[in-house]
Amino acid sequence: MPDDASGRDAPALARRIGFWSAVAVVIGSTIGSGIFRSPAGIADKLPGPLPMLAVWAAGGVFALCGALTLAEIASALPQTGGMYVFCRDGWGRLAGFLFGWGQFTMIRAASLGAIAIVFSEYFFRVTGQNPQAPDRIMAVRWFAAFAIALTAGFNVVGVRLAANVSNVTVLAKYGGLVFIVIIALFIGLPKTGGYFTPAAPAGSFTMAAFGLALVSTLWAFDGWADLAYNAGEVKDPGKNLPRALIGGTLLVVAIYLAANVAYLAVLPIEKIRVSKLVAADAAEVVLGTAGAVFVSVTVMISTFGTLNTVLFTSPRVFFAMAADRLFFRSLASVHPKFGTPWVSILMTAGLGIVFVLSRSFEQLADVFVTAFLPFYALAVGSIFRLRKKPGYAPSFRVPLYPFLPLVFIASVLYLLGNSIAEPESRWSTLAVLGVVAAGIPVYYLTVGRRAA
């Protein structure tokens, strides 16, 4: 790996992303597979309408606390790399390296793989095949790998093409969720009467189960911070970054809560907890097979758009690290024709393909959330150090400081502690954290030992 700490001569990416495209990146990164796949696992851990809705609300509060904090930091540090830059400037080069190490070894590949699997599963359902059938498992994974490769091609060709794909799919996915909410509440609910009672059956809530369910909820909410990776490409970042981060996150929280109310309006909790394709099942109850097919196509568009957005945002981390001489220099290469970080994009896609061919959706989602939580805490916590540094001049200030950042960090510590305390998640959590910690000796054996 390179050993030079300077990235002053690294090529820059042009500022081409306007406000509405920035909002589309936030929504497009967040609404993907989670709201269509995670409700089953959440309902299984919290089999009651009130606990189920409460954990989604808690996930929304968590995301908003983080988004408000990072909106301030991003307005002061509108640079390509997002949370990598926040960790690096707030806590030092080791923290920045560890963030990139986690992204490289687990986080981005797990994210791409999980999203691509849901896209593939719904594709198989639309074509009349059962994606959960044992003889379909590898076919589902290979088609998911193809989807990753295709979206990587879009992002190599250009920022505008990738942004246009994101904008179109955002309208489809948000509109699809609005459609589900409308038909469930105005057509389905009068027929079924809803399945909101008993609100909290005996045994439907424990703090341990709530913590595990919240991890699944955070998979669905993840993406609210991804716009920060492209901060160096956003026009008028001091104004547009905070507005897009906060506005996009609020829109996601609102539609997620509405969607879960809609699911409960037409499906009993016992049905939700075993439904891998809950959105399609809810539409089928109301509109029959045609409704299920329509929603399945919508989910395909949604997850394909999220794949595109993830490959639009996350390669910027490796690009920024390479520019700082903390990673392979070639990853800072900008395509001479398309003006995109094409080597970083192709590497990220390649890692995603490896992961999607070897792991299930549940394994990928759990690895992603567990590996990312410590870095969310570091990025949000960097505000306490950055505010003490000269020259820190954000255009937006997080309200209720320091309460909101502290709530976010305390939530992360609770989630990690709960995952370690619970026998069913203990060893997988420790294994993931062990891989992250392994980056420390890697740093000191490579770039760190020569960093002045």
Pick the CATH number of 19-450 from 3.40.1190.20, 1.20.1740.10, 1.20.5.510, 3.40.50.10490: 1.20.1740.10
Q: One-letter amino acid identity for 74?
A: A
The answer on pLDDT for 194 being more than 90 is yes
Q: Select the more confidently predicted residue: 81 or 240.
A: 240
Residues 6+ apart with CB under 8 A from 385: 90, 91
The answer on pLDDT for 159 being more than 90 is no
CB-based burial label for 201 (10 Å; 0-12, 13-18, 19+): middle
The answer on pLDDT for 9 being more than 70 is no
The answer on pLDDT for 255 being more than 50 is yes
The answer on pLDDT for 150 being more than 80 is yes
Residue length, the chain?
452
Most confidently modeled range among 17-21, 66-70, 171-175, 228-232: 66-70
DSSP 189-252: HHHH--S--SSS-TTS--HHHHHHHHHHHHHHHTTTTGGGGGGGGBSSHHHHHHHHHHHHHHHH
**Cα separation, 70 vs 220, whole angstroms:** 19
The answer on pLDDT for 156 being more than 60 is yes
**Cα separation, 346 vs 95, whole angstroms:** 25
19-54 tens-digit pLDDT: 888 888 888 878 877 788 889 889 999 999 999 999
Look over the chain and give the mean of its residue pLDDT values, rounded to a whole number. Answer: 86
Most confidently modeled range among 304-313, 322-331, 371-380: 371-380
- Pick from 73-77, 216-220, 347-351: least confident: 216-220
pLDDT at site 5: 39
Angle at 359 between CA 411 and CA 377, to 5 degrees: 20
Average pLDDT (155-166) is 71
Cα within 13 Å of Cα(209), Cβ side:
15
**Cα separation, 178 vs 167, whole angstroms:** 17
- Pick from 231-245, 315-329, 400-414: least confident: 315-329
Average pLDDT (50-66) is 94
pLDDT at site 93: 92
- Pick from 1-15, 105-119, 432-446: least confident: 1-15
pTM for the full predicted model = 0.82
* Percent of the chain surpassing pLDDT 90: 42
CB-based burial label for 72 (10 Å; 0-12, 13-18, 19+): buried
**Cα separation, 217 vs 443, whole angstroms:** 32
pLDDT at site 364: 82
The answer on pLDDT for 8 being more than 50 is no
pLDDT at site 449: 62
Residues 6+ apart with CB under 8 A from 381: 90, 405, 409
The answer on pLDDT for 333 being more than 70 is yes
The answer on pLDDT for 82 being more than 90 is no
Closest CA to 200 of 418, 40, 76, 47: 47
- Cα torsion 78, 220, 164, 316 to 10°: value is 40
392-449 tens-digit pLDDT: 999 999 999 999 999 999 999 988 898 898 888 888 889 989 999 999 999 998 876 6
pLDDT at site 172: 81
- Pick from 88-92, 110-114, 128-132, 329-333: least confident: 329-333
- Pick from 251-265, 308-322, 367-381, 396-410: least confident: 308-322
Q: Select the more confidently predicted residue: 85 or 315.
A: 85
